[in-house]
Structures are given as structure tokens and as C-alpha cells.
């Protein structure tokens, strides 16, 4: 890891998590002795890597001030948007005049608390000299079927070329800013930062991640997250 490089984190946390079927946003749901969001943020902090970690929040958020991380000056909040991409753009804009063009930005899902910290260190080592940047991902092991509107199989895809995208996704600040601006100008519906980089005409690298790095989406995922976190507790 190059000590002269600077790293900034962005953890979008403005979503409602409607698929969790809970009254409170999923990032504030209890997870072991903490919450989903605090677990994610404190694990990122343990890397001792970031200049700052920006946390885009919903304008209606009333729970952040109750979190452990709210008292830590490593974390800066910004007003997020109704979509993940709007929240990331808000954080990128907040870094204008603060981050340099060549600084690295790592965007990570608030609902992915179970990442092995060693995987992120490996990712940074592998991508620090890469001209584009890249993302954590895992190869698909299941057979993948393409299905038409009538719920009928129309084909079987070659899984050897298919990977499930995860986070963090790591790109230079200046490049990511330009790519996100173009994507919004073209009203491109992106679900991750790598999609914006691809639209910009570049090819992100893929770094193999861990199956433990799940995204908490449904109620049953909380139990799985607890299992993985207990296994990772010795890091």
C-alpha cells in the first residue's frame, strides 16, 4: 500500500430497506450488540485507512444521532437521495475541493457488514496502480437461467463469465465524479458505481471477494450476518 495515496470512504445509508418488512430502516436494525450500520462503519474504521468516511443519510433520518459512529469525527454525514446513486453523487460533491483528482474513493454498502478486512487490504494492494479501479465480486456457482415474461426458460447462460458484484467499489475521485455526472446526464439507471465507469467507456477490474460479504436485504439475512460476523470476530 502506497502511504502517499489518500483514501476516502462513502457508505450510502439513506435507503428505507422496504424488503426487510420492518418499521425502521434496515441499516439501523440490531445486529449482535450493535446495529447494521454501526457494525459496517466500525469495521471500516478498523482498517485505519480513510481520511474521512462520508455517510449520506435520508433527510428524514432521526436515528443517526443515537449511533456510536455519530460521535466519531472520522464520519461525516451529508444529505442523501432517494436512490443510491444520488447519495453517492452528494458525497462526491461534498468532497469537491477536499479530495484530489487522483485520490481513491471506496464506496461500500451500509448493509454489507461482514466483509473480511483482509480482502479490502488485498483489493487496495491490487488496484492502487490500476488505471481504472475496480470492484469486489464473486463468481457465480449456480446454473443461471434466462426467463421470459411468461416465466418460461428461454436460455441457459454461461456462468463461467458471470460474477456477482459486491462492494467496496474503488475508483479515482476525479474519474468517478466525471462518470457519475455523465450517467446522470444520460439518465442512466445505475445500481453500482462500476456501471457508471463502464458507461464512461472504461473496464473496471474485478477482485475476488468472499461469500461472507453478503448484503442484508431480507429478514433471514440478519441471522446469516450474525453467523459470518462471529466467524470474523478474530480478525
pLDDT at res. 233: 87
Model confidence at 213: pLDDT above 90: yes
Model confidence at 17: pLDDT above 90: no
Q: Confirm whether 152 is domain-assigned.
A: no
Looking at the 3D structure of the chain, how many domains does it have?
1
The CATH number linked to 42 is 3.90.550.10
Q: How far apart are CA 50 and CA 68, in angstroms?
A: 18
pTM: 0.94
- What SS3 class is residue 132? coil
Q: How far apart are CA 222 and CA 93, in angstroms?
A: 33
Average pLDDT in the chain: 94
pLDDT at res. 234: 76
How confident is the model over 141-162, as a mean pLDDT? Answer: 92
Q: Confirm whether 147 is domain-assigned.
A: no
Q: How far apart are CA 2 and CA 14, in angstroms?
A: 32
How confident is the model over 178-200, as a mean pLDDT? Answer: 94
Model confidence at 229: pLDDT above 90: yes
Domain that holds residue 201: 7-133+167-232
Q: Confirm whether 151 is domain-assigned.
A: no
Q: Confirm whether 139 is domain-assigned.
A: no
Amino acid at each position: 500500500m502506497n502511504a502517499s495515496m489518500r483514501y476516502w470512504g462513502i457508505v450510502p445509508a439513506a435507503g428505507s430497506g422496504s424488503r426487510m418488512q420492518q418499521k425502521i430502516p434496515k441499516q439501523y436494525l440490531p445486529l449482535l450488540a450493535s446495529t447494521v450500520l454501526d457494525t459496517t462503519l466500525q469495521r471500516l474504521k478498523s482498517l485505519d485507512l480513510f481520511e474521512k468516511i462520508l455517510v449520506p443519510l435520508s433527510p428524514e433520518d432521526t436515528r443517526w444521532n443515537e449511533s456510536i459512529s455519530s460521535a466519531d469525527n472520522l464520519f461525516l454525514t451529508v444529505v442523501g437521495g432517494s436512490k443510491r446513486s444520488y447519495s453517492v453523487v452528494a458525497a462526491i460533491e461534498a468532497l469537491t475541493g477536499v479530495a484530489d483528482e487522483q485520490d481513491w474513493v471506496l464506496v461500500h454498502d451500509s448493509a454489507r457488514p461482514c466483509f473480511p478486512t483482509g480482502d479490502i487490504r488485498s483489493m487496495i494492494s491490487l488496484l492502487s496502480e490500476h488505471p481504472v479501479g475496480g470492484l469486489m465480486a464473486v463468481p457465480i456457482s449456480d446454473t443461471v437461467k434466462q426467463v421470459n415474461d411468461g416465466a418460461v426458460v428461454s436460455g441457459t447462460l454461461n456462468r463461467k463469465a458471470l460474477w456477482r458484484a459486491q462492494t467496496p467499489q474503488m475508483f479515482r475521485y476525479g474519474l468517478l465524479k466525471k462518470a457519475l455526472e455523465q450517467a446522470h446526464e444520460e439518465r442512466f439507471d445505475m445500481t453500482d458505481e462500476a456501471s457508471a465507469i463502464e458507461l464512461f467507456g472504461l473496464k473496471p477490474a474485478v477482485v475476488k471477494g468472499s461469500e461472507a460479504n453478503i448484503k442484508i436485504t431480507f429478514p433471514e439475512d440478519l441471522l446469516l450476518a450474525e453467523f459470518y460476523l462471529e466467524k470474523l470476530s478474530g480478525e
